Structure 1
Amino acid sequence: MKVIKMEEVHLTEPLSLAIGFFDGLHLGHMSLINEVLKYKGETKTAVMSFDVHPLCVLKGEKRQSIITLEEKKELLEEMGIDYLLVIHFTKEVAALSPQAFIDEYLNKLPLKRLVCGYDFHFGDHNSGSIEDLKKQSFELIVKNAVMYNETEKVSSTLIKKLMDQGMIEEVNTLLGRPYKVKGTVIHGKQRGRLIGFPTLNIDYGMKYLPKRGVYGTIVEINHQYYIGMANIGMNPTFNDINRLSLEVNVFDFDEDVYGKEVEVTFCLYKREETVFNGLEGLKTQLTEDRKYLSQVMKKYLTLYKNNVK
């Protein structure tokens, strides 16, 4: 798959294109992309997206994402998409009229068909809609929402809400894959090692983290897979950090991997974050957590290894 900045695009072969920000690449987004892939062979297949979430530019938000641009690239390539077309989102782009947006980013392409969601909006103050797209020369395919239940659609907002509730298995179902956080191992407080539970402290960047608590995870280190026990929290027993930490106790692993990149896959939620009366209470609970997870996570590890082969 080729990644092309829209200001540098020079394509000549007919395109079938899905458009959106695609934060999460969840089941709702996949319905658009799978529609585009139906035409692979007849046309080239492409996805058009922004380099940053529009609200980061419009409102100055430091927005944590379900999926990074790099992860988006990897997943789309695995699916067989030919091109990822990236719009550099600015306030000037946001201010374009609907027709100016269409002319600048769609009509300059050899676009045979466009696939979008029923609620897709674009242009100045999101004033552009499906009706504007219907007036163009390309074929338009509008996909209905993928529903979570009778009243709520699958969306990035819903997925974040479920993550906030610790419902990671439900999140994984709606994503169509396990939720992952990739990051560099950094130095932490190193208390875990003192009580027999050494942890990898992960720099998770701007990734959205699930609810505070303990999770069963699969950890990829140097292309090997291990069962891990992750803790997301503020270390309330010690109360000496000012940002959520992601720490993982990796079972049957004791190597120095500071500065290396690891990938943490979240499989199940074990318990909430708890304040303990000192190290002994914490150690007792962690011993119980590890005993439980070392058993129940075996099936997850087997399934995961089979799926990545």
Structure 2
Amino acid sequence: MRRDTFLKTLAAAAAAGALPFGARAAPVLKMMIPANPGGGWDTTGRALGKAILDAKAADNVQYENKGGAAGALGLAQFVGASKGDANALMMMGAVMVGGQITNKQPVSLQQCTPLARLTSEYNVFVVPAASPLKTMKDVVAQLKADPGSVKWGGGSRGSTEHISACMLARAVGVDPKKVNYVAFRGGGEAVSAILGGNVTVGGSGYSEFAEYIAAGKMRPIGVTSQKRLPGINVPTMKEQGYDVVLGNWRGVYGAPGISAEQRAALVDVVQKATKTKAWQEALDKNGWTPAWVTGKEFEDFVEYEFSSLRAIMYLSGMV
């Protein structure tokens, strides 16, 4: 083959996404973030993108936010638009798994390609600084007296904070179906509702509330970890007498229909990113625990999460 013909063929293959990353001069990654700006998926996705660039594993990362229905809207768009695209990534995690269980969705996470689990994080419950409720015991007392008067604000229906609120209700003898949960499409909306006093209690990963807690605008009253989080002086739900222990986690998937080689190349890109200083700084800043798992171990983990969360949600009256 003549050199000019070879170069034209190579360029056409690269444009079609048929070449592995190493064979392309300037790979561009497209990252679907199935939530509105300001939330955990958004923060994690953009931190990962920055780390990918720092690792020089891509020359550009393009982001698209599509919030709603526990990630279902973004998932549907990702499945529909990215089939076979070896340059496409999607953030996901426990919230998406919970949403798949609670909602009848035409598109399934199983249609996509699992790449890696990235981080784990526990939920913290907060109240506005001006709230008359000072502790989780105060919240529980009001919950017992009038369940509907306690408005819980957080991510989509089926999120880990929603499940945790239902677990708490069940633990203190309140029908979980009476939990008044207000779902928001993104972390920014939830923060505004909490600061504005439009919800009684807010729940999310600590990273989403950290700056407001530090500024004295929110009061943390409980965290869903087994033990207190390092450097964060917030009592666990368990030490306060409530058997509510539930972790959140976030991972990344590839598009449907990519080859084993393309999947391996994407895993390599993400793994290189997790070894950068930028990623370590993101872990430290946001209080994330590294939870790297890939391959069959990650596939088995997600399958276990589906069965485990389904059982918890059933016992909590959510399904």
What is the TM-score normalised by the length of structure 1? Answer: 0.29
Q: Of the two structures, which has the highest relative contact order with CA contacts closer than 8 Å and spacing of 6 or more?
A: 2
Larger Rg: 1
Task: Say which structure is richer in strand.
Answer: 1
> Which structure features the higher share of helix residues?
2
